[in-house]
């Protein structure tokens, strides 16, 4: 958004699209990354295609981008990719929501009550140091090959970034604001509601932004260890049949999933904490 003033007239808020229509040259000069991002991708893809063609690299080693595109179109047309994509998306989102709820609740208790922090935090750190891929087989044995085990793994992977950012955000409060609330004889709940928690929201969303991507990684790890459906399971199937182009196509879908979820969190963040600029938010 930008502000335009015409001879003392009230400032007019322009959307990015309107600004581009009025002055495309100035719009591009102010945002040089917009043409550079697709340009870098096009150059990379053309170079990749050229190297594979010039060196005659076998497709079962490194497929050309054109072969990957054909595999992607074929998988999407047959709905094979879409069905497995939906399973992984469901596992990731459900695991993320569980991690968000647990991380915010535990982080609030730890930040507000010192005895809870001293009691629980060492166990939480110990849990985080355990490699999740090491306990994934146990979860598969306990919870089975269905979706439940993948959701739990995704939640475990996504939990700690949220927890740490919530704790840091709740403890990083301007002392003068707390003194003001005490002078107003505010209760502990009122201080938390009007000062502490709003102050922590930028940190909370920084943790959520990391966790939403980690939840996808957790779901894929669970699908690698033992699953019947999902993009991770599809990668293993293509690996067995040496369909490397299909594997790259699934990786493109996973990249698109991660980017899409990241952008969704950023959009929600701009709506919820409209007073803070996303570029200035620093997570733990």
Task: Say if residue 128 is in the same domain as residue 56.
Answer: no
Task: Say if residue 191 is in the same domain as residue 236.
Answer: yes
Residue 121's domain comprises: 69-280
Task: Say if residue 139 is in the same domain as residue 46.
Answer: no
Cα–Cα distance between 94 and 260 in angstroms, integer? 16
Domain boundary among 21, 45, 62: 62
Task: Say if residue 210 is in the same domain as residue 265.
Answer: yes
pTM of the model: 0.86
Q: Helix, strand, or coil here: 3?
A: strand
Contact yes or no for 153/132 (Cβ under 8 A): yes
Task: Say if residue 6 is in the same domain as residue 94.
Answer: no
Residues 6+ apart with CB under 8 A from 213: 258, 261, 262
Nearest CA-CA partner of 132 in 216, 235, 209, 229: 216
Cα–Cα distance between 194 and 188 in angstroms, integer? 10
Task: Say if residue 41 is in the same domain as residue 135.
Answer: no
Burial of 240 (0-12, 13-18, 19+ CB in 10 A): exposed
In the chain, what is the straight-line distance between the N-terminal and C-terminal CA atoms, in Å?
A: 29
CATH, residue 249: 1.10.3720.10
Task: Say if residue 105 is in the same domain as residue 207.
Answer: yes
Task: Say if residue 53 is in the same domain as residue 82.
Answer: no
Q: How many domains does the chain have?
A: 2
Task: Say if residue 233 is in the same domain as residue 160.
Answer: yes
Q: What is the pLDDT along the chain (284 residues), one digit of tens a residue?
A: 444 444 444 444 556 677 767 777 776 777 777 788 889 999 999 999 999 999 999 988 999 999 999 999 999 999 999 999 999 999 999 999 999 999 999 999 999 888 998 898 888 888 888 888 888 999 999 999 999 999 999 999 999 999 999 999 999 888 888 888 888 888 888 888 888 999 999 999 999 999 999 999 999 999 999 888 999 999 999 999 999 999 999 999 999 999 999 999 999 999 998 876 544 555 44
Domain boundary among 29, 47, 62: 62
Domain boundary among 62, 79, 99: 62
Task: Say if residue 124 is in the same domain as residue 264.
Answer: yes
Task: Say if residue 116 is in the same domain as residue 55.
Answer: no
Task: Say if residue 147 is in the same domain as residue 255.
Answer: yes
Determine phi and psi for 63, rounding to 5 degrees.
Answer: -75, 155
Cα–Cα distance between 261 and 213 in angstroms, integer? 7
């Amino acid at each position: 958004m930008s502000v335009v003033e015409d001879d003392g007239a009230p400032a007019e808020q322009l959307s990015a699209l309107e600004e581009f229509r009025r002055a495309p040259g100035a719009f591009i000069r102010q945002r040089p990354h917009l043409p550079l991002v697709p340009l870098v991708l096009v150059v990379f893809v053309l170079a990749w295609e050229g190297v594979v063609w010039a060196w005659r690299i076998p497709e079962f080693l490194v497929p050309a981008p054109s072969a990957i595109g054909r595999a992607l179109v074929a998988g999407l047309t047959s709905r094979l990719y879409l069905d497995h994509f939906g399973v992984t998306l469901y596992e990731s989102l459900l695991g993320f929501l569980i991690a968000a709820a647990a991380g915010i609740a535990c982080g609030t208790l730890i930040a507000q009550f010192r005895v809870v922090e001293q009691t629980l935090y060492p166990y939480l750190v110990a849990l985080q140091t355990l490699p999740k891929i090491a306990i994934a087989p146990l979860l598969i044995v306990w919870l089975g090959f269905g979706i439940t085990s993948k959701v739990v793994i995704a939640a475990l992977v996504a939990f700690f970034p949220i927890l740490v950012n919530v704790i840091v955000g709740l403890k990083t409060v301007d002392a003068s604001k707390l003194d003001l609330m005490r002078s107003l004889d505010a209760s502990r709940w009122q201080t938390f509601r009007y000062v502490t928690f709003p102050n922590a929201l930028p940190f909370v969303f920084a943790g959520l932004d990391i966790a939403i991507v980690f939840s996808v990684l957790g779901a894929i790890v669970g699908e690698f260890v033992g699953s019947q459906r999902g993009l991770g399971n599809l990668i293993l199937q293509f690996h067995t049949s040496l369909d490397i182009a299909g594997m790259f196509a699934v990786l493109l879908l996973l990249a698109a999933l991660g980017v899409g979820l990241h952008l969704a969190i950023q959009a929600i963040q701009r709506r919820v904490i409209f007073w803070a600029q996303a570029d200035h938010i620093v997570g733990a």
